Amino acid sequence: MLTSRKIRATKVNIVYLTTEAVPFAKTGGLADVCGTLPSRVAALGHRAAIIMPAFRSVYQSHAGVEPTDISFAIPMSPRKLVGCRLLRGRLPSAHHVPVWFIDQPQYFDRDSLYGTATGDYPDNAERFAFFCRAAIQAMQRIGWNFDIVHCNDWQTGPIPSLLAADRDLSPALENHATFMTVHNLAYQGNFAKSAFEWLGLDWSHFNQNEFEFYDRVNFLKAGIAAADTITTVSPRYAKEIQTAEHGCGLEAVLENVADRVSGITNGIDQSIWNPETDTKLVANYDVKTWQEGKLANKKALQQQFGLEQSDDVPMIGLVGRLAEQKGWDLILPVLHWHLRENRPTQWIVLGSGDAHYERQLRELNEAHPNRFALHVGFNDMLAHRIEAGSDIFLMPSHYEPCGLNQLYSIRYGTVPIVTPTGGLADTVTDCDEQSLANRTATGFHLHTVTAQGLDDAIGRALYLRYHQPRLWAQIIDTGMCQDWSWKKSAMEYESLYAKTLALKSAAKRTE
């Protein structure tokens, strides 16, 4: 086994394949991770690059993206040759990390990344099969020798198999190992069998051990089955996905490769999410000044949204996708009870997604505009301001691979109330007698995953806030002093990269 010191002496080249990375394209936490992890790994002495599609938002990011003279074409079918060119930019927060974009306007220059409010784009299998195949071409033309090919989520799932099946790989990829990181197992890229054609592979790869899943083609399954190492974004979720409850049908596939599966908890990018320096806030603050700082941010939200002006009323915040996963079936009744019964709370919600949740939220907002603020859409500035101005942040997710918003809440002195699942259980310590006594409490867990359970957890939090303000402040202080930076997680990835390469070369020697 290699030690961490030996690993660092061995500099490795890593390419991150992803569809999202801040500040170029974002719909969720994948973008936060892929916009930061490469720079933190590079800071440990390695060489990191990113390859992603040139979505419309890439052009709109104004982050200095330039054309290159590298272009090529992929035969998507016998009669369809699709050309593309490479663009090049850099991570604004880490100029030494190049970002290569696959520019193919028909596939990627669209209003959104994956679909519209009415559903996914019907050609997603074709679009992302193209991205995988083009990314493999790009890796060979960039002029680096890649040791680690790090794939992220279903959109890049076919890459490990495509690489293994390719008999003409250039020396740039001769000794590579593959990583497949699952940021959310529920999204698998599960398509009709005919979509397999877009991958340009022989039909012999359409089998139970590779792409075939109940007579359909499953991009993520193929990635899990073929990658040298599989990771997910928290240790608890890594275990949960091997059970029927959270395995989304892939539990047996994951169990088969259990010795290659592990979890590394995400960090947060402190250059973006830090209440001391966050330029999106109306007032900055730290662990000593949060009382005044958070109040100033709360007042600004009250003013902006026409909420009742009150220093004391607790503000309950939520930011997230309007998707079943996030527990809106629990949140909506509780929100309704609080508003209807005129309980002393104020609510603010930022989200976009499923139309039926949006409609219910709009109805409640129209009925109670001075107690419930709503913004439907994606708004980064408001996400930061809600984290800073709220007293309590709700995340009653039914499952949560890691979750970033609860980490931002902890960092911003906003007490999270969470379901004890996946990364939420790994990162938020429930407040009870013992955790208060040993000063480890950072939030509240739902004791039953029901609307009543959520309301009870809010009740416990509010009781403490009103009746034991010192202990409430202790919870906030404990959280704000924790270190959730990427450094520790980056070092864990570094160890796993080295371990995977060592195992791979040992296996090669015995071949």
| For ligand ADP, the closer CB: 29 or 314 | 29
Q: Exactly one of 21, 25, 32, 129 binds ligand ADP (CB under 6 A); which one?
A: 32
| For ligand ADP, the closer CB: 321 or 460 | 321
- For the record, the structure tokens of 334 come out as 């509780």
| For ligand ADP, the closer CB: 148 or 407 | 407
Within 10 Å of residue 371's Cβ, how many Cβ atoms?
Answer: 20
- For the record, the structure tokens of 252 come out as 């047996």
DSSP labels, 125-170: HHHHHHHHHHHHHHHHHS----SEEEEESGGGTTHHHHHHH-TT--
Amino acid at residue number 431: C
To ligand ADP, the closest distance from the beta carbon of 16 in angstroms equals 16
Q: Exactly one of 380, 456, 477, 492 binds ligand ADP (CB under 6 A); which one?
A: 380
Q: Which residue is nearest to ligand ADP (CB)?
A: 29
**Distance in angstroms (rounded) separating the CA atoms of residues 439 and 53:** 45
C-alpha triplet 107, 112, 114: angle, nearest 5°: 70
C-alpha triplet 427, 430, 431: angle, nearest 5°: 135
How many chain residues are in contact with ligand ADP, going by CB under 6 A? 17
To ligand ADP, the closest distance from the beta carbon of 268 in angstroms equals 9
| For ligand ADP, the closer CB: 121 or 378 | 378
To ligand ADP, the closest distance from the beta carbon of 267 in angstroms equals 12
Q: Can residue 136 be called a binding residue for ligand ADP (CB under 6 A)?
A: no
Q: Can residue 492 be called a binding residue for ligand ADP (CB under 6 A)?
A: no
Q: Exactly one of 405, 419, 427, 442 binds ligand ADP (CB under 6 A); which one?
A: 405
Residue 408 DSSP SS3: helix
Residues 306-345 that bind ligand ADP (CB under 6 A): 319-321
**Distance in angstroms (rounded) separating the CA atoms of residues 111 and 378:** 13
- Terminal C-alpha separation, the chain: 20
Residue span binding ligand ADP (CB under 6 A) among the ranges 213-221, 278-286, 396-404, 489-497? 396-404
**Distance in angstroms (rounded) separating the CA atoms of residues 322 and 358:** 7
Residue span binding ligand ADP (CB under 6 A) among the ranges 89-97, 169-177, 294-302, 348-356? 348-356
Radius of gyration of the chain (CA): 23
Alpha helix segments (H runs only) across 167-269: 219-226, 235-240, 251-256
CB within 8 Å of 114: residues ≥ 6 apart: 27, 120, 121, 124
| For ligand ADP, the closer CB: 48 or 350 | 350
Q: What phi, psi does 347 have (nearest 5°)?
A: -125, 145
Q: Can residue 350 be called a binding residue for ligand ADP (CB under 6 A)?
A: yes
Q: Exactly one of 158, 403, 422, 479 binds ligand ADP (CB under 6 A); which one?
A: 403
Amino acid at residue number 386: I
Element (DSSP H or E) covering residue 210: none
Q: Can residue 379 be called a binding residue for ligand ADP (CB under 6 A)?
A: yes
Residue span binding ligand ADP (CB under 6 A) among the ranges 35-43, 141-149, 279-287, 346-354? 346-354
**Distance in angstroms (rounded) separating the CA atoms of residues 304 and 302:** 6
Q: Exactly one of 19, 21, 29, 46 binds ligand ADP (CB under 6 A); which one?
A: 29
To ligand ADP, the closest distance from the beta carbon of 438 in angstroms equals 28
**Distance in angstroms (rounded) separating the CA atoms of residues 497 and 504:** 11
CB within 8 Å of 4: residues ≥ 6 apart: 491, 494, 495
C-alpha triplet 488, 489, 493: angle, nearest 5°: 120
| For ligand ADP, the closer CB: 190 or 405 | 405
Residue span binding ligand ADP (CB under 6 A) among the ranges 41-49, 140-148, 350-358, 471-479? 350-358
Taking alpha carbons only, the member of 338, 481, 335, 461 closest to residue 391 is: 461
| For ligand ADP, the closer CB: 160 or 351 | 351
| For ligand ADP, the closer CB: 98 or 189 | 189
| For ligand ADP, the closer CB: 28 or 333 | 28
Helix axes 451-467, 469-480, angle to 10 degrees: 110
The size of the chain, in residues, is: 511
| For ligand ADP, the closer CB: 140 or 265 | 265
To ligand ADP, the closest distance from the beta carbon of 426 in angstroms equals 13
Residue span binding ligand ADP (CB under 6 A) among the ranges 60-68, 256-264, 283-291, 347-355? 347-355
Residue span binding ligand ADP (CB under 6 A) among the ranges 28-36, 89-97, 359-367, 491-499? 28-36
Taking alpha carbons only, the member of 376, 377, 378, 405 closest to residue 392 is: 405
Residue 20 DSSP SS3: coil
**Distance in angstroms (rounded) separating the CA atoms of residues 54 and 248:** 30
| For ligand ADP, the closer CB: 159 or 407 | 407
To ligand ADP, the closest distance from the beta carbon of 87 in angstroms equals 25
Amino acid at residue number 174: E
Residue span binding ligand ADP (CB under 6 A) among the ranges 200-208, 238-246, 379-387, 500-508? 379-387
To ligand ADP, the closest distance from the beta carbon of 6 in angstroms equals 33
To ligand ADP, the closest distance from the beta carbon of 13 in angstroms equals 27
Q: Can residue 153 be called a binding residue for ligand ADP (CB under 6 A)?
A: no
Q: Which residues bind ligand ADP (CB under 6 A)?
A: 28-29, 32, 319-321, 350-352, 378-380, 383, 402-405
